């Protein structure tokens, strides 16, 4: 351990020295910042060296002076994204060239082609209008969601990263607010002002999606969405990158105060709420203030926001194998135990059906930022954001749950998120710029148990009956995790001739501390109501009618620490006036912790292999047909980070530090319900499962390519058409090394609804008796067996604000395919890594991904008309000052796969055949219907319109009020987000169809927990 630490320190030191002495670096935009570049030529097209270039932003106090080099090129990297920039180019003997009031967006370098005319022709050439919409220096498929959109589009819950869904090659991953790029689940990176603010344990945004937001909308200026083919500066993502820029103060004093309110008066009822419109209300209020402490030198910005919400959740159970189709009662005909036993069991479950669970939220946020520019060569920035969230019964955020989890899998949610940044930008010479950043991040998720929701009869036991949860949550209490990160980033940018080069180092160390013993109270699983009733009461003979019992023992406290070193080099080379080449390489190395204990029977449990050759080359080329048309193409390799949840599972998978058992009712030592085991001593043989990493275990990665054609149609409108390609490799999968050779082939009879045999299905089997190591149950090897494929055509149409109108249209046709179809939103939760239908045969499950959405279109627009130039009070307060905006989303249905419910014990399907686990072939893997294609069912199409109408009240020239009314899914076009996938029930070797397969079971949405219509009113005061 000491040797590894010494090696790490030496490597960090060497790389820091290399960064300090290396000159190659680029006048490209730095993460969280922007840039300006250009080429100066005379009327004949010849380069003009020595031209004086002056870049100003008076409100920000920015003044950057430079000269064009021998190739006529100038660059100004590391600029704060903002509006109000002006650029002047002058040279003796030529007329001045000037462009005013243009905007720089995060992550983009604004490129100008400057033509200087001789002085006799004109005194000053002023370029009218905004900066060009197309640029030959930008890389990949990206889009910026700007301040106008953030301030004026309808946004539910004021969580700005929801706007990511307005961009191409993106879809929602589940119903909790997660986002997928190019069919890749949980592969994204989240940055704030360029620093990493990803919760790397789950590989999600800070605070995860149970919270409304971890930073106020009013503290965000804009953010950049990198969908495909981004530059070598960005890493730790095989999916996409979301780079948020916070607001800063200016020379002028500006402030806001706001209040958003809603209640159930105008809310629609969720289609699965059984007609109940729960008494919900929400207040969101806050204020911001920004200005100059010393003009042109020292600026500040502060924001604070509070959220108070009451949103009780409805616990329901709709299960065709247990309840009536409406989920209102359990038919007595489904229970064949004694009358007394059936009555007791049915009453126990029905007391948990259609229950309104009280739930509230209290959230407090604060953000502060200081910017100091002591002179034109140096600038410093310091910022800090903090969020506290507390929500009793708030682990489950949905409005309605139809699987029993509002009571049986709920807890009290507490989240503490803190992060800060300190940066120093130094202009060493006009062509050499350094940016040094430090980042600190802490995210603590601590969730006490909601014991008041536990059933009195079974206390802390977790129970499932026919797949529905009816007991107590087994995950709580927990702190999972408390994560803290320190990060140092150094970027150097240098312009030399027609090359803009860049070199950078990114070092971070992340610690995760956990306190959880998952399933410490024990769990029982029953196939049907009859089996549960026979165990629940009147069990005088000690019978065991459950399918499985599971429980965990051991130390709940565990921790781990990872350290990452990333280095990159990038060059943007202006080969000619028409051709620009961008190429670079990135190297990523993660120093993985190792398990503290090892299972002597399986030495693999003592080691987590790490990858040493994560080199990621990236290149793109742009061909500039003219000032309005650019063709670009690119390719690159992108590695996912090794997230902490997976590492934690491998640490605990040795069966020593924590011991998790799972046994069936026939194994020796199996308890009688409701008893659990008091100690891990003397556990039944074959009840413990192990988990470890495969030899050669490595980071998943994606290969990405794109071809794009950008065209500026008018001065304010541009169109981009792109082909996007991606292939994912090394996606985490899982293979049971304890399954031995195939047993006999068995044949299931397939029946129709009338009870007639219509077909058969034959399959080889995995037998309990053929286990490789009878001392254990599953021996799971986590490996890199999954692959994915993504092909898409994307169109983006953008119109900048002019004549009171701005809009963006995005359309993507895509097809996402993978061999790890069970991933979706849960692939980063290590206990649910994909098990194939047939052990290790991942190709058998190749098909349309659960994230496949063939068509997705979004339209957002803002109209702020000025009907009259009259300045009378009537015109100012009644006629003018209106704003209308909407976001329209249209998307095709995603595929789901039908499943088989296994009834009875593992030995009850065929005489003399004792399957290893309760699936058709005994593998214990994916329980999909194996004779139907993957993704055979469709969930639902999406069509929704979110709208906003605002009215500006100009109290004075500087003080204005805004009345706002917002409606989300205003036409209440509700859509299913989950369906009944249970197509067959397997019993005694017969597959019988289950009614209502494909019917909807949930209509959830983020952040309200439903996609039913919600409306709110607001008032803002701006000065």
Length in residues, the chain: 1023
The tokens for 761 are 């299905």
Identify the pLDDT of residue 185: 87
Identify the pLDDT of residue 577: 87
Identify the pLDDT of residue 120: 62
Pairing label, strands 982-987, 899-902: parallel
Task: Dump pLDDT digits (tens) for 35-49.
Answer: 898 899 988 888 999
- What is the pTM assigned to this prediction? 0.90
Identify the pLDDT of residue 2: 40
Q: How close are the terminal C-alpha atoms of the chain, in Å? A: 58
Identify the pLDDT of residue 870: 86
Task: Dump pLDDT digits (tens) for 490-548.
Answer: 999 998 888 989 999 999 999 999 999 999 999 999 999 999 999 999 999 999 999 99
Backbone angles phi, psi at 510, to 5 degrees: -125, 130
Which residues are within 8 A (CB) of 38 and not within 5 positions of it... i.e. 6 or more apart? 53, 73, 74, 87, 89, 111, 112, 113, 114
Identify the pLDDT of residue 119: 78
pLDDT category of residue 127 using cuts at 50, 70 and 90: low
Mean pLDDT, to the nearest integer, of 986-1005?
93
Pairing label, strands 855-863, 847-848: unpaired
Per the CB < 8 A criterion, the answer to whether 274 and 110 are in contact is no
The tokens for 371 are 């910017």
Cα–Cα nearest to 716, from 794, 809, 797: 797
Task: Dump pLDDT digits (tens) for 785-825.
Answer: 999 999 999 999 999 888 899 999 999 999 999 997 655 55
Identify the pLDDT of residue 123: 58
Distance CA 168, CA 797 (A): 11
Per the CB < 8 A criterion, the answer to whether 761 and 732 are in contact is no
Task: Dump pLDDT digits (tens) for 540-592.
Answer: 999 999 999 999 999 999 999 999 999 999 999 989 989 999 999 999 999 99
Percent above pLDDT 70 for the chain: 94
Range of weakest confidence among 137-146, 215-224, 396-405, 921-930: 137-146
Distance CA 470, CA 103 (A): 56
Identify the pLDDT of residue 4: 44
The tokens for 1021 are 């005061």
Distance CA 370, CA 379 (A): 11
Task: Dump pLDDT digits (tens) for 613-654.
Answer: 999 999 999 999 988 999 999 999 999 999 999 999 999 999
Distance CA 953, CA 1023 (A): 12
Cα–Cα nearest to 104, from 40, 156, 147, 157: 147
Residue 937 has pLDDT above 90, yes or no: yes
Distance CA 632, CA 297 (A): 40
Residue 28 has pLDDT above 80, yes or no: no
State whether residue 788 is helix, strand or coil. Answer: strand
Distance CA 824, CA 471 (A): 26
Mean pLDDT, to the nearest integer, of 308-335?
92
Pairing label, strands 109-116, 34-42: parallel
Beta bridge partners of 587: 567, 615
Residue 129 has pLDDT above 80, yes or no: no
Identify the pLDDT of residue 857: 98
Average pLDDT, the chain: 91
Pairing label, strands 717-736, 834-835: parallel
Residue 772 has pLDDT above 60, yes or no: yes
Per the CB < 8 A criterion, the answer to whether 984 and 990 are in contact is no
Going along the chain from its start, the domains and CATH numbers come out as 31-133 (2.60.40.1120), 144-317+352-419+428-453+478-515+553-678+696-718+732-1022 (2.40.170.20)
Cα–Cα nearest to 377, from 64, 660, 80, 796: 64
State whether residue 351 is helix, strand or coil. Answer: coil
Task: Dump pLDDT digits (tens) for 141-197.
Answer: 778 888 889 999 999 989 888 899 999 999 999 888 899 999 998 899 999 999 999
Residue 12 has pLDDT above 60, yes or no: no
Per the CB < 8 A criterion, the answer to whether 766 and 779 are in contact is no
Identify the pLDDT of residue 867: 87
Residue 117 has pLDDT above 60, yes or no: yes
Task: Dump pLDDT digits (tens) for 39-88.
Answer: 999 888 889 999 999 999 999 999 999 999 988 999 999 899 988 999 99
Task: Dump pLDDT digits (tens) for 884-906.
Answer: 999 999 999 999 999 998 988 88
Identify the pLDDT of residue 27: 38
Which residues are within 8 A (CB) of 765 and not within 5 positions of it... i.e. 6 or more apart? 742, 743, 744, 745, 746, 913, 915, 921, 922
- E strands within 402-498? 413-429, 432-447, 462-465, 468-469, 478-496
Radius of gyration of the chain measured on its C-alpha atoms: 30
Mean pLDDT, to the nearest integer, of 253-271?
95
Residue 419, classified by CB atoms within 10 Å of its CB into exposed (0-12), middle (13-18) or buried (19+), is: buried
Task: Dump pLDDT digits (tens) for 655-712.
Answer: 999 999 988 888 888 999 999 998 888 888 889 999 999 999 999 999 999 999 999 9
* Residue 130 or residue 470, greater confidence: 470
Identify the pLDDT of residue 693: 95
Identify the pLDDT of residue 109: 85
- Going from the C-alpha of 25 to that of each of 75, 344, 504, 571, the distances in angstroms are 12, 74, 8, 7
pLDDT category of residue 743 using cuts at 50, 70 and 90: very high
Identify the pLDDT of residue 22: 34
Per the CB < 8 A criterion, the answer to whether 867 and 879 are in contact is yes
* Residue 14 or residue 264, greater confidence: 264
- E strands within 91-140? 96-104, 109-116, 124-127
Identify the pLDDT of residue 320: 83
For tokens 């969908």, the residue is: 227
């Amino acid at each position: 351990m000491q040797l590894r630490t010494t090696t790490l320190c030496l490597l960090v030191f060497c790389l820091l020295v290399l960064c300090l002495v290396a000159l190659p670096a680029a006048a490209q935009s730095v993460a969280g910042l922007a840039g300006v570049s250009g080429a100066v030529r005379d009327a004949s097209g010849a380069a003009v060296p020595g031209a004086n270039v002056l870049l100003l932003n008076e409100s920000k106090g920015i003044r950057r002076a430079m000269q064009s080099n021998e190739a006529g090129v100038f660059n100004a990297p590391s600029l704060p994204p903002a509006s109000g920039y002006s650029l002047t180019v002058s040279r003796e003997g030529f007329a001045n060239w000037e462009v005013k009031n243009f905007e720089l967006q995060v992550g983009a370098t604004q490129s100008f082609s400057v033509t200087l005319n001789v002085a006799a022709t004109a005194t000053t050439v002023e370029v009218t209008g905004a900066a060009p919409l197309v640029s030959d220096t930008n890389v990949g498929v990206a889009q910026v969601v700007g301040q106008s959109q953030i301030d004026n589009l309808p946004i539910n819950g004021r969580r700005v990263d929801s706007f990511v869904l307005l961009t191409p090659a993106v879809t929602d991953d589940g119903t909790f607010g997660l986002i997928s790029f190019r069919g890749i689940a949980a592969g994204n990176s989240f940055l704030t002002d360029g620093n990493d603010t990803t919760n790397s344990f789950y590989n999600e945004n800070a605070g995860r999606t149970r919270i409304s937001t971890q930073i106020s909308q009013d503290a965000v200026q804009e953010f950049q969405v990198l969908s495909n083919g981004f530059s070598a500066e960005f890493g730790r993502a095989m999916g996409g990158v979301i780079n948020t820029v916070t607001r800063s103060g200016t020379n002028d004093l500006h402030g806001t105060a706001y209040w958003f309110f809603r209640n159930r008066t105008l809310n629609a009822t969720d289609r699965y709420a059984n007609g109940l419109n729960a008494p919900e209300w929400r207040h969101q209020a806050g204020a911001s203030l920004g200005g100059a402490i010393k003009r042109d030198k020292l600026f500040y910005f502060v924001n604070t926001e509070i959220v108070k919400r009451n949103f009780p959740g409805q616990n329901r159970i709709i299960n065709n194998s247990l309840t009536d189709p409406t989920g209102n009662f359990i038919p007595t005909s489904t229970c064949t135990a004694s009358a007394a036993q059936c009555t007791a069991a049915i009453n126990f479950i029905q007391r948990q059906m259609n229950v309104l669970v009280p739930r509230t939220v209290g959230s407090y946020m604060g953000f502060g930022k200081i910017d100091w520019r002591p002179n034109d060569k140096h600038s410093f920035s310091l910022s800090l954001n903090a969020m506290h969230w507390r929500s009793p019964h708030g682990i489950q955020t949905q409005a309605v749950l139809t699987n029993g989890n509002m009571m049986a899998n709920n807890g009290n949610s507490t989240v503490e998120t803190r992060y800060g940044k300190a940066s120093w930008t130094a202009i060493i010479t006009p062509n050499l710029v350094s940016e040094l950043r430090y980042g600190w991040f802490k995210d603590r998720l601590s969730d006490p148990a909601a014991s008041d929701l536990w059933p009195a009869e079974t206390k802390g036991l977790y129970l499932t009956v026919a797949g529905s949860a009816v007991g107590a949550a087994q995950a709580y209490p927990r702190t999972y995790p408390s994560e803290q990160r320190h990060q140092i980033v150094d970027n150097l940018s240098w312009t030399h001739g027609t090359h803009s080069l860049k070199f950078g180092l990114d070092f971070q160390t992340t610690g995760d501390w956990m306190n959880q013993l998952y399933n410490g109270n024990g769990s029982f699983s029953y196939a049907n109501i009859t089996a549960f009733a026979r165990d629940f009461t009147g069990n005088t003979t000690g019978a065991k009618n459950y399918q499985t019992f599971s429980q965990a023992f051991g130390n709940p406290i565990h921790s781990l620490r990872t350290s990452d070193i990333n280095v990159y080099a990038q060059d943007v080379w202006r080969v000619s006036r028409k051709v620009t080449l961008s190429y670079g390489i990135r190297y990523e190395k993660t120093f993985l912790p190792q398990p503290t204990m090892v299972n002597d029977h399986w030495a693999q449990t003592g080691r987590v292999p790490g990858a040493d050759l994560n080199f990621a080359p990236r290149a793109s080329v742009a061909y500039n047909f003219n000032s309005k048309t650019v063709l670009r193409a690119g390719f690159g390799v992108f590695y996912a980070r090794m997230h902490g949840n997976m590492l934690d599972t491998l640490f605990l998978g040795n069966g020593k530090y924590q011991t998790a058992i799972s046994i069936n009712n026939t194994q020796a030592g199996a308890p009688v319900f409701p008893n659990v085991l008091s100690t891990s001593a003397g556990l039944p043989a074959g009840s413990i499962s192990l988990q470890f990493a495969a030899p050669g275990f490595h980071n998943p990665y994606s290969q990405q390519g794109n071809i794009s054609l950008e065209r500026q149609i008018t001065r304010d409108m541009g169109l981009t058409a792109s082909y996007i390609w991606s292939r994912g490799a090394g996606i985490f999968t899982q293979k049971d090394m304890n399954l031995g050779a195939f047993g006999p082939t068995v044949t299931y009879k397939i029946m129709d609804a009338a009870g007639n045999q219509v077909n058969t299905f034959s399959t080889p089997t995995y037998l309990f008796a053929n286990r490789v190591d009878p001392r254990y149950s599953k021996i799971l090897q986590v490996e890199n067996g999954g692959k994915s494929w993504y092909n898409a055509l994307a169109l983006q149409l953008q119109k900048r604000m002019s004549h009171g109108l701005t809009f963006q249209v995005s359309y993507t046709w895509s097809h996402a395919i993978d061999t790890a179809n069970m991933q979706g939103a849960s692939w980063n939760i290590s206990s649910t890594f994909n098990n194939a239908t047939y052990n290790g045969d991942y190709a058998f499950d190749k098909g349309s991904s659960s994230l496949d959405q063939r068509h997705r279109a979004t339209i957002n627009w803002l109209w702020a008309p000025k009907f009259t130039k009259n300045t009378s009070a009537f015109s100012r307060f009644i006629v003018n000052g209106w704003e209308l905006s909407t976001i329209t989303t249209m998307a095709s249905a995603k595929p789901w796969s039908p499943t088989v419910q296994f009834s009875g014990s593992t030995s009850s399907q065929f005489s003399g055949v004792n399957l290893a686990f309760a699936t058709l072939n005994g593998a214990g893997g994916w329980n999909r219907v194996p004779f139907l294609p993957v993704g055979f069912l469709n969930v639902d199409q999406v069509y929704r319109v979110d709208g906003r109408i605002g009215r500006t009240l100009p109290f004075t020239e500087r003080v204005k009020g805004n009345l706002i009314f917002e409606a989300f899914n205003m036409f209440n076009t509700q859509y299913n987000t989950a369906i009944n996938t249970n197509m067959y029930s397997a019993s005694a070797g017969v597959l019988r169809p289950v009614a209502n397969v494909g019917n909807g079971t949930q209509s959830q949405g983020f952040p309200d927990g439903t996609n039913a219509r919600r409306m709110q009113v607001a008032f803002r005061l701006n000065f």
